[in-house]
Amino acid sequence: MSGAFESVDVAVVGGGISGLTAAYALRKAGRNAVLLEASQGFGGCMGSVRAQPYLADRGPQSFVATPPLVELIHDLGLDEQVIAAGASGARRYIYRHGALIPVPMSPGALVGTPLLSLSAKLRLAGEFFVRNRPTSDDESVASFLARRAGGEIVEAVAGPVIAGIYAGDPARLSARSTLPGMVRFEETQGSVIRGFLSQPKATAATRRQPSRTIGFRGGNAQLIDALTAALQGSAYAGARVARIRQRGAGFALECDGLPEGTIEAARVIVATPAAGAADLLEALEPAAAAALREIEYAPIAQIVSAYPRGDIGVPIDGFGFLACRGEGVRILGAVWNSAIFTGRSPDDELLCTAFLGGALDAEIGALSDTELAQVAHTDLSRVMHIAPGTPKVVAGFRWAAAIPQYTIGHAQRVARIDAAAARVPGLFLIGNYADGVSVADCVRRARDAAARAAR
Ligand SMILES: Cc1cc2nc3c(=O)[nH]c(=O)nc-3n(C[C@H](O)[C@H](O)[C@H](O)COP(=O)(O)OP(=O)(O)OC[C@H]3O[C@@H](n4cnc5c(N)ncnc54)[C@H](O)[C@@H]3O)c2cc1C
């Protein structure tokens, strides 16, 4: 490697979607930026496995097409590779009372849904008139929703949906950080329903458009590969940053796996999960490290299997389902990959990704891969009425620390991290642990940080 590499404008630590996006934006802005990734490949928790005739995605199963993500895709020349979820992508089910029930998407559907009891529907309608306010600045998602709309909403809707997005426990997650829009509606309009109704109609309709849910013809790997290719010559895998120290007006990064050993950079963007960022900042800014260590993560396992469509006893006409607790199944839910995106499996089969674990089932860490696959098959068979048989297990993935948990007090925790990091000029922290776990959130945050680091 050339000696010129030893001093750069910006060093980006971590080659998941956050770090890759930041490094790409910096290069595009004409900055001499390098990306240092500890593992042997890029993408972090995102990737794809092609096991002919199947295509399985590791980590994210679909993306919300926000403007920053759409722009990134366009810049990378990937427009033609994007596939929008078909109309069925907007239909989602909840497994409750032993059946798959469509999530009601309109007031009319809400009135008729068997998902909620009559008393729960009446209590929900009464949300307009609920006047009680929280006693402290933050409260749990469960407490916020039960206070506004009754406990059954938590059990039947919020529990499974929160498990689907955050793999989290509604009794511990922060309402302010997890449901910011709803909390704002309560504060500004006195009612969540009133807040929703006051939204411009076009916006509400746009939000429901299935085309906002997208994937890639070649799976997640296509986005990662395009970013990596664009960064060729400036992105290094197998390069773990062990320590960051201040040197002069900039930084020295001690790096395992690179002949240079130490890299000097005027600015640093740390794009690792919170615990890794804490390790790197321990000596530099202990207060930031301490607050970063407070962020908990939940474990997740994914089992991707294929079933003959003819063996499945329920209509496969949606995105997938989320399971309520207490229904006798351990899986959190499943995504019906080949029902939403083409090219995932032969037409007469369903490729399906089951999710296990989460904050309420950390014990999955003790299960072997075979046991996880068995649990997934047993539960899918029960929920989707699958005829007895042996599934084709296409792939399995597991993370001990998959999704950051925005627990009560999260906003103050993030404010402490930001304040401490701001005491180190030239240091930027990005990732999914601050204000949004989705890939689209990571892209937004990475581009914002890159713009500031490029100034
Ligand atoms: C199971 C699962 C399902 C998901 N589903 C969806 C979904 O459907 N839609 C959606 O939008 N989002 C989804 N997400 C969330 C989204 O995928 C993640 O939030 C996002 O990919 C995180 O990217 P990141 O770059 O911030 O972190 P990561 O992907 O964790 O990348 C961080 C990188 O930093 C590297 N690193 C760590 N320490 C060091 C070091 N010291 N030196 C160098 N490198 C280091 C790591 O090796 C890693 O590659 C899902 C996530 C998971 C886990």
**How do residues 45-78 score in pLDDT, each as one tens digit?**
999 999 999 999 999 999 999 999 999 999 999 9
Residue 120 lies in a domain: yes
Looking at the predicted structure, is the pLDDT value of residue 88 above 90?
no
Percent of the chain with pLDDT over 90: 85
Answer yes or no: do 177 and 259 share one domain.
Answer: no
Cα separation, 107 vs 126, whole angstroms: 14
Residue 242 lies in a domain: yes
Looking at the predicted structure, is the pLDDT value of residue 210 above 90?
no
pLDDT band at 137, cuts 50/70/90? confident
Residue 249 lies in a domain: yes
Pocket-testing residue among 20, 36, 45, ligand 1, by greatest number of atoms within 8 A of Cβ: 45
Is 49 buried (19+), middle (13-18) or exposed (0-12) by CB count in 10 A? middle
Residue 97 lies in a domain: no
Answer yes or no: do 40 and 121 share one domain.
Answer: no
Pocket-testing residue among 397, 432, 443, 447, ligand 1, by greatest number of atoms within 8 A of Cβ: 432
| Residue nearest atom 20 in ligand 1 by C-alpha distance | 439
Looking at the predicted structure, is the pLDDT value of residue 115 above 70?
yes
Answer yes or no: do 193 and 161 share one domain.
Answer: yes
pLDDT digits (tens, 9 = 90+) for 321-365: 999 999 999 999 999 999 999 999 999 999 999 999 999 999 999
Of 175, 207, 239, the residue at which a domain comes to its end is: 207
Residue 319, helix vs strand vs coil: coil
Structure tokens given for 15: 């080659």
| Residue nearest atom 1 in ligand 1 by C-alpha distance | 59
pLDDT band at 106, cuts 50/70/90? confident
Answer yes or no: do 228 and 199 share one domain.
Answer: no
39 CA: nearest ligand 1 atom: 47
Answer yes or no: do 141 and 197 share one domain.
Answer: yes
Closest by CA to 419, choosing from 432, 429, 405, is: 429
Residue 380 and residue 374 in contact, taking contact as beta carbons nearer than 8 Å: no
Cα separation, 47 vs 300, whole angstroms: 15
How many domains are there within the chain? 2
Model-level pTM?
Answer: 0.95
439 CA: nearest ligand 1 atom: 11
Of 207, 235, 250, the residue at which a domain comes to its end is: 207
pLDDT at res. 204: 55
Residue 317, helix vs strand vs coil: coil
Dist. CA 112 → ligand 1 center (Å): 39
Q: Is the CB of 396 under 6 A from ligand 1?
A: no
Of 180, 207, 234, the residue at which a domain comes to its end is: 207
Residue 14, helix vs strand vs coil: coil
Cα separation, 334 vs 86, whole angstroms: 17
Residue 52 lies in a domain: no
pLDDT at res. 132: 74
Cα separation, 33 vs 337, whole angstroms: 36
Answer yes or no: do 200 and 252 share one domain.
Answer: no
Residue 298 lies in a domain: no
Is 110 buried (19+), middle (13-18) or exposed (0-12) by CB count in 10 A? middle
Looking at the predicted structure, is the pLDDT value of residue 3 above 60?
no
Strands 7-13 and 33-36: parallel
pLDDT band at 246, cuts 50/70/90? very high
CATH number at residue 240: 3.50.50.60
Answer yes or no: do 191 and 114 share one domain.
Answer: yes
Closest by CA to 323, choosing from 89, 160, 169, is: 160
Q: Average pLDDT for residues 278-304, to the nearest whole number?
A: 97
Answer yes or no: do 169 and 240 share one domain.
Answer: no
Answer yes or no: do 203 and 225 share one domain.
Answer: no
Looking at the predicted structure, is the pLDDT value of residue 209 above 80?
no
pLDDT band at 4, cuts 50/70/90? very low
Looking at the predicted structure, is the pLDDT value of residue 135 above 90?
no
Would you tell me how many other CB atoms lie within 10 Å of the CB of residue 237? 15
Dist. CA 113 → ligand 1 center (Å): 36
Residue 125 lies in a domain: yes
pLDDT band at 1, cuts 50/70/90? very low
- Domain, as residue range, for 276: 3-45+220-284+424-453
Which residue type, as a one-letter code, is found at position 107? P
Residue 29 lies in a domain: yes
Dist. CA 47 → ligand 1 center (Å): 10
Dist. CA 209 → ligand 1 center (Å): 26
